Structure formats: C-alpha cells, structure tokens
A and B are shown apart, each in its own frame.
Chain A
Amino acid sequence: KQEVTQIPAALSVPEGENLVLNCSFTDSAIYNLQWFRQDPGKGLTSLLLIQSSQREQTSGRLNASLDKSSGRSTLYIAASQPGDSATYLCAAIPWGGYNKLIFGAGTRLAVHP
C-alpha cells in the first residue's frame, strides 16, 4: 500500500532563504506526483505535476524533482517570500490506481520578514 510522508511537518525561515521540502513514497510504481499549496479558506492550488517519465518540473521560483528509484520528491523554493507562507502537500497517483491521489500530511511553511 502506497504511503506518502512529508518532512518536516513545519518550517519557519526568514525571507530570502532557499528552501527544500521533502516528500517520500513507499512504492516507486507511481504514475505521477503532484505538489499543491494549501491556504486557509482557499482550498488546494496545484503547483507542479511531474509525470513518472520526468525528472523535474519548474515554475517560476519553484522546482520539483522526482527520483522514483529512491522514492523521493523535493520541492525547491528559491528566494522565499512571506507570500510563500502556506501548507505544501505532495500527492502521488499510483500505477493502476488512477482514481485517487495519495497525499502526505503536508509541510506548514512560515516565511517571516
């Protein structure tokens, strides 16, 4: 059974730092991996989706990598800003289980000025 774990559970950093958020999954047989941002009262916003055949995806200051062999994905945030404060969730779609996302519990990020 696929399980997704995110470390750390919470992170507080000063503005301007480069950050790495970690996501690990127990079964390397995934179809894709998606990173979301969750803001209070606003639901989940998709940030990046990495297909199993890809190694990374980039959007602005965000870069997500995927290493299926080690069961890991990382979300890199460059030059963090207070507006980046949110909870970040990773979710995997397992092979043969296309009908759901399996989520980690999230990393709560606070970027202070």
Chain B
Amino acid sequence: EAQVTQNPRYLITVTGKKLTVTCSQNMNHEYMSWYRQDPGLGLRQIYYSMNVEVTDKGDVPEGYKVSRKEKRNFPLILESPSPNQTSLYFCASRETSGGAGDTQYFGPGTRLTVL
C-alpha cells in the first residue's frame, strides 16, 4: 500500500530535550515536506526537500532541522524544543519536484506536546 508513515504518532516531552520525528514514504517520491498545524492558522510549511541532499526552508523553519540522506526518509529534528512548538505535524510527499500538478500525500500526523 502506498503511504507516508510518521513516528511517533504522539509525543509528550520537556523543554530542551532533543527529539526526532521520522517520516518515510514508499512511493519513490522525489519531493517531501513538513507542515505544522495550529488552531485557526491552518497548515504552514516548515521545510521541504526536492530530492536527496536538497532541502530548503519553508515559512516557519525556526527551531527545526531536517535531513534527506535517503530518498524515502525525511526526519524532522527539534534540537531544543520549546512550548511554542507544541503542534500537530504532518509529513507530505509528491512524485516529482517540479510536479506542482501532482497530488500530495500526507502522513497521519504527529501530535507533539512540549512542557
């Protein structure tokens, strides 16, 4: 089954404790991205990747890091989480980097709470 998976699905942590949210897709997609969703604000893009070893900032990259060492994986790293990073996070992928007309596929989401 074609899918985007994220782990963990739920995470409660404390301020300053480094964490990684994993994202993996099994569709051989070139393009992957991370969004966060907050009430009343919709989804906002954090980072995106056009292909392996190619990443760039989205609209809200502060406090986050990403890497793309393999085509299928695109982990989101919070080096020193803060309470304002409490949110629902989604990973997404689409087939081609230039394929703006391609459908985007989303993972199930990771609900992060930072105390």
On A, residues with C-beta under 8 Å from B are: 4, 31-32, 34, 36, 41-46, 49, 51, 89, 91, 93, 98-101, 103-106
Task: From A43, A89, A99, A101, give the contact of B50 (CB < 8 A).
Answer: A99
- A100-B33 contact given A43-B106, A46-B104, A105-B42, CB 8 Å threshold: yes
Q: How large is the interface on B (under 10, 10 to 19, 20 to 34, 35 or more residues)?
A: 20 to 34
- Taken together as a complex, chains A and B put the C-alpha atoms of A34 and B92 apart, in Å, by 14
Q: Given contacts A32-B101, A51-B101, is CB(A99)–CB(B56) below 8 Å?
A: yes
B contact residues around A44 at 8 Å (CB): 90, 92, 106
Nearest first, the 7 A-B pairs at minimum CB distance are A98-B100, A44-B106, A103-B42, A43-B108, A103-B43, A100-B45, A105-B42
Q: What's the least CB distance linking A76 to chain B, in Å? A: 20
CA distance A42 to B43 in the complex (A): 15
Given contacts A34-B104, A100-B48, contact A43 B90 (CB under 8 A): yes
Neighbour of B103 across the interface among A34, A41, A99, A100, CB < 8 A:
A34
Query: Chain B: residues with CB nearer than 8 A to chain A?
Result: 4, 9, 31, 33, 35, 40-45, 48, 50, 56, 58-59, 90, 92, 98, 100-101, 103-109
Main secondary structure of the interface of A (DSSP, over half): strand
Residues in B neighbouring A32, C-beta threshold 8 A: 100-101
Q: How far is the CB of B28 from chain A (nearest CB, A)?
A: 18
Q: In the complex, which residues of chain B have a beta carbon less than 8 angstroms from the beta carbon of A31? A: 100-101
- In the bound complex, what is the Cα–Cα distance between A105 and B45 (angstroms)? 14
- What's the minimum C-beta distance from B41 to chain A, rounded to whole angstroms? 7
